[in-house]
Amino acid sequence: MNRATDFVSDLRKAVGPDFLLWLPGVVAVVRDQNRRVLLQRRTAASQWTPLSGIVEPGEAPAAAVAREVHEETGVRVVVERLAAVTNSPPVQHSNGDRAQYLEIIFACRPAGPDSSPRVCDDESVEVGWFSLDALPPMSARMREIIAVVEKDETAAWFAPVE
């Protein structure tokens, strides 16, 4: 287990099983020099997503996103910029836990020439590079996240207050 898993487990024990946890999360949109994006298909889902995970207590978000990509794919990344800050819809995990995530989305690139991904943990069943013109099945929301990063704007995107 890692610190984030221990933290969530301890928090769940303290607040009970029915409480919707609000957790900080990071999302990595990793693009290579060929304009491909690194994606994962998680164990609990049939669709593909950018790499993501929970920020461990005391961890900087940029460090968390680099750690998550490496833990899940073996690929080391350079975090280039903050691309967006948003929130996920509430989700119910396979163990019954309910959570909603503050999503801190980063644009990243591979740190070196060896950017061959492999499944490195039990959270994913597949990982791989995909052309932006031929993305695998994914939710419209995940496509929007990739599109926001692809705009390559300097300022981070956020949902305007209505």
Tokens describing residue 63: 């460090």
pLDDT score of 137? 94
pTM above 0.85, yes or no: yes
Q: Is the pLDDT of residue 130 over 90?
A: yes
pLDDT score of 152? 76
pLDDT score of 2? 66
Q: Is the pLDDT of residue 83 over 90?
A: yes
- Mean of the per-residue pLDDT values for the chain? 91
pLDDT score of 1? 54
Domains, in order of start, for the chain:
3-150 (3.90.79.10)
Q: Residue 13 belongs to what H/E stretch?
A: helix 3-15
> Which residues have CB under 8 Å from 135's CB, separation 6+?
37, 39, 48, 143, 146
